[in-house]
């Protein structure tokens, strides 16, 4: 399988994120993508290729140009405004109750993007978990190019291709970044596929978290079906979206399928959810499926609470590929660094119908002790 990778992700070199008001070690770090790249190279069955530049148009097809401009200038603004922080995190977010009683028209006319960069980050951001650093914008653009190059490979005839996107994308909405995500790589890819083919597209999102951004972007669209298996938002980020009764509206009514799972969800629970998701893919036309692939469903993930093991990724990859649809597979989350490479190898080999044997040099045992 072809793998699209760009070293520009290294420019998004975050060290801390903020969690409930304090700085904690970042989860979404460069080592993640490097672990996956190293494992796929060691496998021998994957061919790495760099992305080609696709420009800004496919991004503003999906995102507010104001979000793009903010992300472009945020770091230089932080410095210009003399704020000596190692990363940008918002000061104030516009909670919806701040505007209670105001009409939609009044809100549109009166609520503006502020000038202070801490206010601007609140205007465009969802949360304080997406630290922005000097290289974030360049890395985010490169991640989009990785996704769109993966689309090109599949539209060019590959049965499946994998884009090693970093930063991830599925929490980014049309006018909002957050949850370690800046541009929604999968949504940009799905939209580009509808444009190029005129066909319907399904997104299957198997990251541990609900992809609120992807859901928002396609909420009213009949041409992109969004299917997500994730931790129940009653107990987990993004908290405010991701319930089973969110089904889309207008042209998009019935095109959004959320499958929330309980804490401790097992391989068996996950495969049952996968079968429901696969059924929803097969219920609509279209030759291409976008996979938002996360490994934070893994039993040892530091921010997840599912109990999946490496073998189940092979089987999920196999079942998604068994739809017969061509797959644009894009990396989202997954934060247990020692297992990321093996889990990615397992999933992708499953999608190719190849068997999976662990690499002896993985330096890590599934029983729970990390040995390297
Ligand atoms: N204590 C993705 O997996 N909350 N994003 C983290 C950590 C934010 C996850 C809390 C989680 C965002 C792409
Ligand atoms: Zn996630």
- Per-residue pLDDT of the chain (372 residues), as tens digits, is 999 999 999 999 999 999 999 999 999 999 999 999 999 999 999 999 999 999 999 999 999 999 999 999 999 999 999 999 999 999 999 999 999 999 999 999 999 999 999 999 999 999 999 999 999 999 999 999 999 999 999 999 999 999 999 999 999 999 999 999 999 999 999 999 999 999 999 999 999 999 999 999 999 999 999 999 999 999 999 999 999 999 999 999 999 999 999 999 999 999 999 999 999 999 999 999 999 999 999 999 999 999 999 999 999 999 999 999 999 999 999 999 999 999 999 999 999 999 999 988 665 555 444 433
Q: Whose CA is nearest to atom 13 of ligand 1?
A: 333
Rounded Cα gap, residues 325 and 222, in angstroms: 19
Active-site position among 171, 191, 210, 230: 171
Q: Whose CA is nearest to atom 2 of ligand 1?
A: 333
Rounded Cα gap, residues 287 and 327, in angstroms: 9
- Residue 302 is classified by DSSP as S
Report which bound ligand comes closest to the CA of 171.
Answer: 1
Hey, what are 122's tokens? 């609140």
What is 67-135 written as a DSSP string?
Answer: HHHHHHHHHHHHHHTT---SSB--S----GGGGTT--HHHHHHH----SSHHHHHHHHBS-SSS-B-TT
Report which bound ligand comes closest to the CA of 229.
Answer: 2
Is residue 303 within 8 A of residue 285, CB to CB? The reply is: no
């Amino acid at each position: 399988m072809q793998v699209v990778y760009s070293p520009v992700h290294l420019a998004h070199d975050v060290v801390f994120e903020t969690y409930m008001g304090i700085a904690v070690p970042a989860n979404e770090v460069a080592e993640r993508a490097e672990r996956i790249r190293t494992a796929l190279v060691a496998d021998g069955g994957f061919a790495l290729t760099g992305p080609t530049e696709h420009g800004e148009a496919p991004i503003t097809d999906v995102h507010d140009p104001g979000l793009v401009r903010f992300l472009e200038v945020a770091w230089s603004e932080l410095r210009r405004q003399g704020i000596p922080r190692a990363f940008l995190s918002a000061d104030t977010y516009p909670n919806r109750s701040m505007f209670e009683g105001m009409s939609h028209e009044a809100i549109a006319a009166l609520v503006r993007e502020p000038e202070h960069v801490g206010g601007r980050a609140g205007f465009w951001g969802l949360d304080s978990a997406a630290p922005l650093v000097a290289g974030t914008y360049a890395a985010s653009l490169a991640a989009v190019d990785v996704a769109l190059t993966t689309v090109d490979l599949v539209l060019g005839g590959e049965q499946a291709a994998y884009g090693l996107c970093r930063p991830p994308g599925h929490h980014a909405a049309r006018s909002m970044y957050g949850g370690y995500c800046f541009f929604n790589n999968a949504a940009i890819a799905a939209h580009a596929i509808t444009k190029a083919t005129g066909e319907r597209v399904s997104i299957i999102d198997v990251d541990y978290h609900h992809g609120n951004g992807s859901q928002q972007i396609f909420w009213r669209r009949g041409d992109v079906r969004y299917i997500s298996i994730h931790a129940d938002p009653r107990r987990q980020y993004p908290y405010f979206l991701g319930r089973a009764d969110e089904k889309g509206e207008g042209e998009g009514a019935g095109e959004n399928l959320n499958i929330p799972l309980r804490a401790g969800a097992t391989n068996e629970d996950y495969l049952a959810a996968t079968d429901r998701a696969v059924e929803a893919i097969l219920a609509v036309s279209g030759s291409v499926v976008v996979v938002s692939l996360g490994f934070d469903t893994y039993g040892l993930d530091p921010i997840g609470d599912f109990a999946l093991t490496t073998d189940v990724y092979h089987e999920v990859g196999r079942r998604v590929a068994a739809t017969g649809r061509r797959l644009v597979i894009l990396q989202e989350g997954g934060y247990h660094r020692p297992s990321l490479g093996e889990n990615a190898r397992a999933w992708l080999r499953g999608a190719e119908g190849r068997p999976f044997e662990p690499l002896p040099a993985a330096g890590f045992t599934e029983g729970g002790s990390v040995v390297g």
